[in-house]
Amino acid sequence: MAYQVILPAAGQGKRMGAGKNKLLLELNGIPVLIHTLKVFEEDELCEGMILAVHPQDFEEFNVLLKKYNINKVTGLVPGGKERQYSIYNALKTVTNGSIILVHDAARPFIRKEQIHRLIETAQKTGAAIIGVPAKDTMKKVQVGTVVETVERSSLWAVQTPQAFRISLLLEAYQKAELEQFVGTDDSSLVERLGHPVAIVEGDYDNIKLTTPEDLYFAEAILKKRQKK
Ligand SMILES: Nc1ccn([C@@H]2O[C@H](COP(=O)(O)OP(=O)(O)OP(=O)(O)O)[C@@H](O)[C@H]2O)c(=O)n1
Ligand SMILES: C[C@](O)(CO)[C@H](O)COP(=O)(O)O
């Protein structure tokens, strides 16, 4: 089943503290952004990519797309103040197709096999996300004090891509806009419609490059994959 993918790439990278868009940092001499886009460029099921980008990065991103022969990008849209607004700007430009994926450009280690499993599930359920069972014990904390330990057996660390029937995601975004709800992922907007969201088990190495330590993990993941 063919799909389109929205890639939010307009963050400020505050937690990375790189002093520039963290997606322009390089792994093995290639920008993080390109590592991510290449996965979709090389996926025969991917019909097109829409990137949400800081207008100040448009020119540099276009130069990189040309340099690395990324030809499936159908549009760059301006990012918004929140990740959700960036994605909505892109979603509004989608005019055809049935399945849409949203994938953080800061997650360069997604694999085609995982994407295809996600698509198959989303085709059946209308909404599917990828994640891994939580490894750490999670607790609710208020003012430096633990108020609750959350039972771990039902907890998952959710990642991206997240896949949806386009009409469902649009309905979810319209409701969120109307009610001024801002979530930390797209699934939470669809859940608010009361629509079930399936989860597919992914890999622990599908990390989001968020803080400087993640760059060390990224180097190790790349090394491990080059050995295969
Ligand atoms: N207003 C925003 C915020 C985030 N993103 C994108 O959403 C993805 C996940 O966001 P995150 O990892 O939090 O990136 P930043 O927001 O840049 O990080 P920080 O919160 O540390 O500033 C990234 O690819 C980021 O570029 C976006 O397009 N628009
Ligand atoms: C969507 C996400 O990657 C799922 O784990 C995560 O919620 C994004 O959070 P961020 O703070 O916007 O990076």
Cβ-Cβ contacts under 8 Å for 19 (sequence gap 6 or more): none
**pLDDT > 70 in the chain, percent:** 100
- Is the predicted ipTM greater than 0.85, yes or no? yes
Which numbered ligand comes closest to the C-alpha of 130? 2
Among residues 156, 209, 159, 202, which one has the least CA distance to residue 184?
A: 159
Which numbered ligand comes closest to the C-alpha of 184? 2
Query: Residue 97's pLDDT band (boundaries 50, 70, 90)?
Result: confident
- Would you call 125 exposed, middle or buried from its count of C-beta atoms within 10 A (0-12, 13-18, 19+)? middle
Contact yes or no for 128/163 (Cβ under 8 A): yes
Output the CA 91–ligand 1 centroid distance in Å: 17
Output the CA 12–ligand 1 centroid distance in Å: 6
> Which atom in ligand 1 lies closest to the alpha carbon of residue 10?
28
- For 161-186, the pLDDT digits (tens) are 999 999 999 999 999 999 999 999 99
- For 171-224, the pLDDT digits (tens) are 999 999 999 999 999 999 999 999 999 999 999 999 999 999 999 999 999 999
Output the CA 183–ligand 2 centroid distance in Å: 9
Type of residue numbered 186: D
Cβ-Cβ contacts under 8 Å for 172 (sequence gap 6 or more): 164, 186, 189, 190, 192, 193, 195
Q: Residue 33 in 3-state DSSP?
A: helix
> Which atom in ligand 1 lies closest to the alpha carbon of residue 106?
24
